[in-house]
Amino acid sequence: MDDIDLQEFLKFLSFASISTDPAYRGEVQKCGEWVLEKFTKLGLEAKLHATAGHPIVTARTPPDPKKRTLLIYGHYDVQPVDPLNLWEGPPFEPQQKGGKVFARGATDNKGQIFGHILGVQKALQQGPLPVNVIFLVEGEEECGSGNLTPFVEANQEFLKCDCVLLSDTGMIAPRTPTISYGLRGLCALEVTLRGPTKDLHSGEFGGAVVNPALVLARLLTTLHDSHGKIAVEGFYDQVAPIQPWEKEAWSKLPLNEKELLHTTGAPQLGGEAGFEPLERIWGRPTIEINGLTSGYQGRGTKTVLPSKASAKLTCRLVPNQTPQEILQKVSDHLRKHCPPTVELQIELGDGGLPYLIDPQSPYIVAAVKALKHIFPDRETAFTRSGGSIPVIAELKRILNVDVVMVGWALPDSNIHSPNENFPVENLEYGLRFNREFLKFMSQP
DSSP track, 332-371: HHHHHH--TTSEEEEEEEEEE--EE--TTSHHHHHHHHHH
Provide the CA 57 distance to its chain's centre, in angstroms. 20
Q: Three-class SS of residue 393?
A: helix
Residues in contact with Zn ion, counted by CB under 5 A, come to a total of 1
Q: Kindly tell me which of 220 and 391 has the beta carbon lying closer to Zn ion.
A: 391
Q: Kindly tell me which of 72 and 161 has the beta carbon lying closer to Zn ion.
A: 72
Q: Is 108 in the site for Zn ion (CB under 5 A)?
A: yes
What is the closest distance, in whole angstroms, from the C-beta atom of residue 105 to Zn ion in the complex?
A: 9
Q: Kindly tell me which of 108 and 140 has the beta carbon lying closer to Zn ion.
A: 108
Q: Kindly tell me which of 100 and 280 has the beta carbon lying closer to Zn ion.
A: 100
Cα 79 to Cα 20: distance, rounded to the nearest angstrom: 8
Cα 99 to Cα 66: distance, rounded to the nearest angstrom: 42
Q: Kindly tell me which of 108 and 436 has the beta carbon lying closer to Zn ion.
A: 108
Per CB under 5 A, the segment of 101-109, 199-207, 215-223, 279-287 that binds Zn ion is 101-109
Q: Is 402 in the site for Zn ion (CB under 5 A)?
A: no
- How is the beta sheet containing 421-423 ordered, strand by strand? 95-97, 100-102, 421-423
What is the closest distance, in whole angstroms, from the C-beta atom of residue 389 to Zn ion in the complex?
A: 9
Per CB under 5 A, the segment of 84-92, 104-112, 204-212, 258-266 that binds Zn ion is 104-112
Residues 35-94, interacting with Zn ion (CB under 5 A):
none
Q: Kindly tell me which of 143 and 304 has the beta carbon lying closer to Zn ion.
A: 143
Per CB under 5 A, the segment of 106-114, 143-151, 378-386, 423-431 that binds Zn ion is 106-114
Cα 153 to Cα 394: distance, rounded to the nearest angstrom: 10
Is the separation of the CB atoms in 295 and 301 below 8 Å? no
Q: Is 279 in the site for Zn ion (CB under 5 A)?
A: no
What is the closest distance, in whole angstroms, from the C-beta atom of residue 135 to Zn ion in the complex?
A: 18
DSSP track, 90-122: -TTS-EEETTEEESTTTTTTHHHHHHHHHHHHH
Single out the residue of 363, 370, 384, 400 nearest to residue 316, CA to CA: 384
> What do you get for the CA distance between the two ends of the chain, in Å?
31
Residues near Zn ion (CB under 5 A):
108
